[in-house]
Amino acid sequence: MNMLEHMPKPEGEPAPGACVRIERPEAGLALLRIAPPHRRLAVFDRPLMRDLALALDELERAKDIRALVLTGSTPITFVAGADIDAIEGLVDIALATELARFGQELFERVARLPCRKVAAVGGPVPGGAFELSLACDAIVLAEHPSSRIGLPETRLGILPGWGGCQRLPRRVGVPSALAAILAGKLYAPREALRNGLVDRLCAPESLLRVASDIALGRERSPRRSRGAKRWLVDCNPLALAVIAASARKNLRAQTKGRYAAPERALELVVRAPLTPLSRGLQREARALGTLAVGGTCKSLVSLFRGSEAAKKLARLDDGTQARAIERVGVIGAGVMGGAIAGLVAERVGSVRLCDLSRAALDSAQAAHFGRIDKARRRRILEPHEARAAADRLETATSITGLARADLVLEAVAEKLEVKRAVFAQVAAGVREDAILATNTSSLSVSAIAAGLPHPERVVGLHFFNPVHAMPLVEIVRGERTSPDTVARTARFALALGKTPVVVADVAGFLVNRVLGPYLDEAVRLFEQGIAAERIERAALDFGLPMGPLELLDEVGLDIAAHAAASLHAAYGERMRSSPLAGELVAAGHKGKKSGAGFFTYAPDPKSGRARKGALNPAAIARARGGALALTDELLRDRLALALVAEAARCLEEHVVASEAELDLATVFGMGFPPFEGGALRYVRSRGARSVVERLATLAALPEVASRDGARARFDACEALRKLARE
C-alpha cells in the first residue's frame, strides 16, 4: 500500500472504500462492483487501487464465497485502463517498476481467490481493465456498439505490464497474442469472441445474470482450448523462434526500430508459455519500468492527451453536447467527395452524393461498395451492417433532395466563384440551420461565405487524402462562423472516426502552410545537386513516413504548385517556391497520376497500382546547381527546421489555439514522427536554444543566404525565441 503514496492524488479524492464495493446478491455469490464516485469513467488511479486492495482483504477473509463476479457501475461501463497522469509523471525506473509490480500483485490476488471468478464487462475495456479480466476464470462481454476490449499499451510507448504479456498468450496462444499486443488493437465484441479474448457475449441487460450463472455453475461457458497447438506451437522452442523471427521482421519494417515497446513485448510474449508466471511477471514489470520513463512514452502520451482533448470540441460553452449530424449532402463526386460520402455512409448515416457526371457518381458508388464488401469479407462488418452501409449512399445528377440535410459539404473545383455559386444554390434549398461546409484546401472560408444567407453556418471541413486513412480533419473557423457550427462540425468529424483541430482562416490553414517550406526546401536541395535518394533518406531517417519528393508526386505537382502560389501570395518572399515543379507540370509531368514527376511510375503487374520507379530524367535535366557539399545533419535540418520554424509562426499567430493542438495536427495531418510528439514538442526535447542557433546557421549558408526570402524562412520567430529564453 505504500506504493500508493507515489501515485498522483486526484482532486476530490473519495474516502476509503468508496470506489469499490462488495455486494452479496445471493448465497455463495459476491459481486465486486467498481464504481468510483469521483470520475465519470473509472481508471486505475490511487483511490481505485487502494479500494481494490481493501476489497480483496475482505474477500480473502470470507469463507462462504463460491463465486465472484467483477463488474462496473453499468453493463457498458467498466474501467478505462491506467491513470494517464500517473504514467506521465513517472521519471524513475525503479519506482515505475515497483508500481508495475504493485498492480501485478493486486491482480494476482484476484487470480488466487479460492472461488470461480467471472469478469462481466462492457463498453471500453482497454489495457489494465482487460488485464484484470484476464486474472479471472472467464470473461463475459456486453455485446454493444461501445464495447471494445484489448491491450493498446504499445500505442503509448509502453507494454501491458500488469500481466497482459503473460496471461494473454496462455489464453489465446502466442501468434494471436502477438497480433493483439503488437498492434495495440481494441476488438469489437464478435471479433474478440472469435479470437478467444472473451468467453461469452450477451446483451447488456443480461450481463450480470449470465456472468452470475457461469460463476455459480448454473450455465456452462467452456473456454476454447488450444489443444495440440499448445504443444506444437506455444511450447515448441523451434516454432516460437520461427514466429519471433517473422514477427520481428514485420515489426522492423513498420517501425524502423524507432519504437522499443513492441520489440520488448514481442520478447515477453514469445517466452511466456515456457516461463513460470512469477518470473514472467518480474520481467514484464522491469520492461514496463524502463519504457514508462522514456521519451517515446512521454511523446505518445502527450498525443493521446491531445486526441482526447479534441473530443471536447464537440461540446458547447455550457458543457452540453452539440446537436448531432445525421443527414448529409456531398456536392462533387471526385476522389475527395466520393470518399467523404462513402465514409459518411459507413459511419454516420444517410448521405446524398450529387454531381453532374453520372460516370463520376457510378465510380464513387462502386468504390464505396468495394470498401463495404472488403470490410464484410474481413468480418469487420456483419452482413446486415454492410447492407445498411451500402444502402445509406444515394446519388443524384442535380443538387436536389437536400431539404432535410443537417450538413452539406462541397468538394468541387478549387475556384472561389464555383464554390460560391454551388453554395448559393444549396442555401436556397436547405434549412436555415443546415451547416454549409467546404473541403477547400486553399481558399478563404470567409470569402466563400460572403454574400450567403446566414454566413455563421459556413465552415471549412478540410479532409486529407486518402480520406479513409488520414486521421486529421481541419475545422476552419471563418470570420463569422458561429461556435455552435464549430461544435456540431467537430461532433460530425468525431463520428467519422477523425480527430478534429480548429484552425484560423488563413492561407494554407495549418498543415499545408507548415508543409510548404519543408517541401520547397526538398526541391531546392534537389536543384542544388543533392541526390534525390539522400533527400528522401534524410526525411525517412528523421521519422517521416514518406520522402518529400515522393510526397509531392503523390499529391500531384500541379496541385502542389497551385498551393505554393497561394502561400507565396499570402506570405511573401518567405514562401517563394522553386519554379521546378511548375516546369515539370508544363512538360506534362504531374506526378504519380501522370506516370512521372520527380520519379517515374508504372502499374504493378499484380495489383495494377502505380509503383515508384527510377528518377525522372526530365527532373534531373531541370536541376540547375552543381554538387553541393552538405552533411547529412545539415541536410536533415534544412528540411525539418524549415517545417518547425513555420509551425512556431502558426502558434505565434494563433492559427491554432495551443501547442498541444499544433503538435497533434503535425503528427496526424502530415506524419511528423509520433515518437517526437509533434513539431513543438520536438523543439522542447531538442532544446529551443539549440534550435534557434541552428536556424541562424542555416540562414547563413551561402546557398540559402543568396536566395530571395530564404533567410526569412529560417528566421526564428518570437515564440521560438521566447522558448529559448525560458
Q: pLDDT per residue over 639-674, tens digit each? A: 999 999 999 999 999 999 999 999 999 999 999 999
Helices (H) and strands (E) in the chain, counts: 32, 21
Confirm if 547 and 540 have CB atoms less than 8 A apart. Answer: yes
Q: What percent of the chain has pLDDT over 70?
A: 99
Place of cell 497522469: 85
Spatial separation of the C-alpha atoms in residues 533 and 526, rounded to whole Å: 10
Name the percent of the chain in helix, strand, coil, to the closest 5. 55, 15, 30
CB 597 within 8 A of CB 584: yes
Residue 708 is predicted with a pLDDT of 67
Kindly state the average pLDDT of the residues 385-395: 94
pLDDT attached to residue 610? 85
Distance, CA of 214 to CA of 199 (rounded, Å): 11
Helix axes 632-652, 679-686, angle to 10 degrees: 120
pLDDT tens-place string over residues 309-350: 999 999 999 989 999 999 999 999 999 999 999 999 999 999
Cα 355 to Cα 362: distance, rounded to the nearest angstrom: 10
pLDDT score of 1 more than 60: no
pLDDT for 442: 87
Distance, CA of 185 to CA of 657 (rounded, Å): 31
DSSP string, 636-658: HHHHHHHHHHHHHHHHHTTSSS-
The three cell numbers of residue 681 are 514538442
Instruction: Compute the distance between CA of residue 56 and CA of residue 140 in angstroms, rounded to an integer.
Output: 21
Instruction: Give buried/exposed letters for 560-580 (b at 16+ CB in 10 A, else e).
Output: bbbbbebbbeebeebbbbbeb
Q: What is the pLDDT of residue 59?
A: 97
Per-residue model confidence as pLDDT tens digits over 153-171? 999 999 999 999 999 999 9
Domains and CATH numbers, the chain: 14-301 (3.90.226.10), 316-504 (3.40.50.720), 511-725 (1.10.1040.50)
Q: Specify whether the backbone of 33 is left (phi greater than 0), alpha (psi in -120 to 50) or beta.
A: beta
Contact 86, 47 (CB under 8 A): no
Average pLDDT along the chain: 94
Supply 531's cell numbers. 541526390
Residues composing the chain:
726
Active site residues: 462
Mean pLDDT of 589-607: 91
Model confidence over 165-192: pLDDT tens digits? Answer: 999 999 999 999 999 999 999 999 999 9
Q: In a 3-state reduction of DSSP, which class is residue 634?
A: helix
Give the pLDDT mean for 600-623: 88
- Give the full edge-to-edge strand order of the sheet including 499-504: 393-396, 351-354, 328-331, 407-410, 435-438, 458-463, 472-477, 499-504
Burial of 394 (0-12, 13-18, 19+ CB in 10 A): middle
Residue 79 pLDDT exceeds 60: yes
Contact status, residue 495 vs residue 469, Cβ threshold 8 Å: no
Among 543, 534, 505, 530, which residue's Cα sits nearest to residue 643?
543
CA dist., res. 597 & res. 618, Å (int): 8
226 pLDDT band, cuts 50/70/90, is confident
Give residue-wise pLDDT tens across range 93-117: 999 999 999 999 999 999 999 999 9
